[in-house]
């Protein structure tokens, strides 16, 4: 049996249903989730959030929960997908009749999460920090190649890189300064 | 909150702690899990299992649970990783003091699951059916390239393809004959 709950601080950072109008607003939330996760010691320095594209309404957030959950799959993006799909009662965010959804992630996804982006049903992805920013902390990002992004784009997923990259990177540096665990070095 | 339990039939197919000595024994179990998942209508035609390498003792199984769980991440391999890590109380199957672990999966992993193989801590992977066998059913496998496998091998993960491939493929065909849902076409 698998069981995962959000850390208690989530409601202080994010309000489900609130409107995050711009790409910067959306990314600022993903980064805030990552930062709080570091400061509270509840996981790695990665946060994510899912929004309705047309309205900017927040559907879910996700924070790295690998160590807390004893579960290697619980990266920030994965938690955001799981929680959004749970809330909507659907294994895809692109079910008939649903509005389009998009993901903001505080760092370019690892190979696992990039694959999950495809299965999640989101139509757009905003990335904050770059793969290299995570690699500098010795986080391995896995087998992600330029062709991997092209594969998603060919299936209709729009991808925007380097959204508030400096702010996103600052959280990674904060984690390093705190000597946080590198669970997949 | 995320919550997942095995379907009720699992104990009839797999005995945690039992010994599966050979690669064929291990794959036969992964295929049996996939077949039962199809026959019971509890998910897609994919099964997986994790073993201690030295002893062949079964640690966990996983079956595709995407539709049942309203969760796009619950592929067979992912469920197997989650359940094994839950059981062992560790986010990695390669923690200090642990024996080496290996995965048997009834079909070559999609991009998400291949990434997760890297994070899971398994040291060896047995694959049954091939990517093309799944693609013929219109299951998309995502951005997996020869370089993706090479990336894992360079990090010390041994990979064996085409273990009981015909038996594994037969489950995919059975799913097609039953007109099972293709949830990530």
The alpha-carbon radius of gyration of chain A (Å, integer) is 15
pLDDT digits (tens, 9 = 90+) for B127-145: 999 999 999 888 899 999 9
Q: With an 8 Å Cβ cutoff, are A2 and B1 in contact?
A: no
- Chain B residues within an 8 Å CB radius of A111: 111-112, 114-115, 118, 148
Q: Write the pLDDT tens digit of every residue in A3-35.
A: 889 999 999 999 999 999 999 999 999 999 999
Q: Which long-range contacts (CB under 8 A, 24 or more apart) does A20-26 make?
A: A20/A49, A20/A51, A20/A56, A20/A57, A20/A58, A21/A56, A22/A56, A23/A104, A23/A126, A23/A160, A23/A163, A24/A163, A24/A164, A25/A56, A26/A51, A26/A56, A26/A102, A26/A104, A26/A126
Q: Which of B115, B146, B183, B184 to mutate to test the interface with A (most CBs of A within 10 A)?
A: B115
CB A85 to CB B70 under 8 A? yes
- State pLDDT tens for residues B11-21: 999 999 999 99
The pLDDT, as a whole number, for residue A165 is 98
| Residues B84-143: tens digit of each pLDDT | 999 999 999 999 999 999 999 999 999 999 999 999 999 999 999 999 999 988 889 999
CA B102/CA B87 separation, integer angstroms: 15
- Whether the per-residue pLDDT at B43 is higher than 70: the answer is yes
> Is B71 in contact with A85 (Cβ distance < 8 A)?
yes
A63 at interface of B, judged by CB pairs closer than 8 A = no
- Chain B neighbours among A 66-105 (CB < 8 Å)? 66-67, 69-73, 78-79, 81-83, 85-86, 88-92
**What rounded mean pLDDT belongs to chain B?**
95
List CB contacts of A170: < 8 A, sequence separation 6 or more: none
Cβ of residue A182 closer than 8 Å to a chain B Cβ: no
- pLDDT of amino acid B3: 83
Is pLDDT of A183 > 90? no
CA distance to A12, A14, A16, A156, per residue, from A94 (Å): 29, 23, 19, 12
Res A158 pLDDT > 80: yes
Smallest Cβ–Cβ distance between A82 and the set B73, B115, B143 belongs to B73
Residues of A in contact with B159 (CB under 8 A): none
Residue B134 touches chain A, beta carbons under 8 Å:
no
Query: B26 in helix, strand or coil?
Result: helix
Number of helices (H), then strands (E), belonging to chain B: the values are 8, 6
Angle between helices B146-154 and B111-120 (to 10 degrees): 0
Strands, E assignment, chain A: 2-4, 47-52, 58-63, 101-107, 124-129, 158-160
Residue in chain B nearest A65 by alpha carbon? B91
Any chain B CB within 8 A of the CB of A135?
no
CA–CA dist A89, A78 (Å, integer): 16
Asked if A138 contacts A185 with a C-beta cutoff of 8 angstroms, the reply is yes
End-to-end Cα spacing for chain B: 28
pLDDT at B153: 98
Of chain A, the percentage scoring pLDDT greater than 90 comes to 89
Report whether B127 contacts B163 (CB < 8 A). Answer: yes
Look at the pTM and tell me if it is higher than 0.95. Answer: yes
Instruction: Tell me the average pLDDT across A66-88.
Output: 97
> Least CB-CB distance to A91: which of B67, B83, B88?
B67
Does residue B33 belong to the interface with chain A, where contact is any CB pair within 8 Å? no
Q: Which two tokens stand for residue A146?
A: 């330029």
Task: Of B135, B15, B137, B117, give the one whose Cα is nearest residue B76.
Answer: B117
Task: Please report residues of B whose CB lies closer than 8 A to that of A148.
Answer: 111, 143, 145
CA-wise closest residue to B162 among B135, B125, B123? B125
CB contact under 8 A, A111 and B71: no
Beta-carbon contacts of residue A49 (< 8 Å; ≥ 6 apart)? A14, A20, A26, A29, A30, A33, A58, A60, A61, A62, A80, A103, A104
Distance from C-alpha of B36 to C-alpha of B29, rounded to nearest angstrom: 10
pLDDT higher than threshold 70 for residue A185: no
CB atoms within 10 A of CB B79: 29
């Amino acid at each position: 049996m698998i069981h995962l709950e959000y850390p208690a601080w989530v409601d202080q950072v994010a309000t489900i249903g609130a409107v995050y109008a711009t790409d910067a607003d959306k990314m600022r939330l993903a980064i805030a989730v990552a930062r709080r996760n570091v400061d509270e010691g509840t996981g790695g320095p990665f946060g994510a959030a899912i929004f309705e594209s047309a309205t900017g309404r927040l559907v879910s957030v996700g924070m790295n929960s690998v160590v807390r959950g004893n579960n290697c799959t619980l990266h920030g993006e994965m938690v955001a997908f799981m929680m959004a799909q749970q809330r909507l009662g659907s294994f895809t965010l692109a079910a008939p009749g649903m509005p389009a959804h998009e993901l903001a992630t505080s760092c370019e996804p690892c190979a696992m999460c990039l694959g999950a982006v495809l299965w999640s049903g989101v139509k757009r992805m905003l990335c904050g920090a770059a793969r290299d920013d995570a690699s500098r902390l010795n986080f391995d990002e896995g087998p992600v190649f330029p062709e991997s992004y092209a594969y998603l784009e060919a299936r209709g997923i729009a991808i925007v890189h380097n959204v508030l990259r400096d702010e996103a990177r600052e959280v990674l540096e904060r984690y390093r300064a705190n000597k946080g665990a590198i669970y997949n070095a």
